[in-house]
Amino acid sequence: MANALHKEIADELREKIKSGEFAAGRRLPTEPELERFFGASRNTIRIAVTNLVHEGLIQIQPGRGMFVPEGPIPFFVILSREEGGDGTDSPLDSYSSGVRAAGRKPSIRDFETRIEYPDREVAGWLEVDEDTQVVVRGSKRYIDDTPYSLQKSYYSMDLVRGTEIESKEKIPRGTIRALAELGYEQSGYRDELVARMPTPEEKGFFKIGPGIPVVVVHRVAYTSASLPIRLTVTTYAADRNRPSYDIGDVPERPMATGQISIVG
């Protein structure tokens, strides 16, 4: 009976939160108040609350109580539109342009380039041996000074050795164009989306609570000869990003705050 009761309590609290009756930022009733309201034991209340904490619907602030989290404004990420490869702050960058078009402020921070040996997964995507070095170009992407995504692009050293892609400088025209100028013109790409719980580093970067997953998009780009020329791995916090695809003849999305973005 207690087992069924904690589920009923969790269901009712969840509905109040999702309906807006318990609005974002609101302090929730205390455990004793919930005990009296539901006629349940403290242990039953704690089980129900813990389940909602794991779902990311309740946040416990030591010394202050339980609150409905004030999450970032959701942002629609249109995965079916391609950008230039590496994020930059250049007006030519599609990600930044999309964010600005939505009336919000983008920033690309901590851009870095490094050379390393790939792990098995990266080597598999790029179809290279694990002892073949790759160039990694990465950045952290923010909207309105809130972290929204992490992005890393990988390139086989066999393709880009001695080129600007190997340099530590940003490429305003994008690496897709830079690769094409090297003779590796992109003809298409393949996406794989994976949802998982964040690593400790990702959790710290996004500042997300328990129960909130990340969505990881692996995009591998190919030439017409089926040669993989770039792997882009983008990690999105699921509480603030809405990955989506527009396929075929569909209406334009409203250009309201948080309603359009583009991934590379």
Kindly list the domain boundaries of the chain, sorted by start residue.
Answer: 2-67, 75-244
Euclidean distance between CA atoms 23 and 27, whole angstroms? 9
> For residue 83, what pLDDT is reported?
59
Euclidean distance between CA atoms 188 and 197, whole angstroms? 29
Query: Residue 85 gets which letter from DSSP?
Result: S
User: What is the helix (H) or strand (E) element at residue 217, kind and residue range?
Assistant: strand 214-222
Euclidean distance between CA atoms 255 and 101, whole angstroms? 7
Q: CA geometry: angle at 126 spanning 124 and 128, to 5°?
A: 75
Query: Please, what are the averages of pLDDT over each run of 10 residues along the chain (264 residues)?
Result: 80 89 90 93 92 84 88 81 54 68 86 97 98 97 94 97 93 91 96 96 92 94 98 95 87 54 44
> For residue 263, what pLDDT is reported?
46
> For residue 43, what pLDDT is reported?
93
Do domains 2-67 and 75-244 share one topology? The answer is no
pTM of the model: 0.76
Q: Which pLDDT tens digit goes with each residue over 79-115?
A: 887 655 554 444 446 677 778 877 788 999 999 999 9
User: Which CATH code fits 75-244?
Assistant: 3.40.1410.10
> For residue 93, what pLDDT is reported?
64
Query: Residue 262 gets which letter from DSSP?
Result: B
> For residue 199, what pLDDT is reported?
97
CATH class given for the domain over 2-67:
mainly alpha
Euclidean distance between CA atoms 82 and 240, whole angstroms? 20
> Which of 120, 185, 113, 195 has the alpha carbon at shortest distance from 154?
113
> For residue 2, what pLDDT is reported?
53
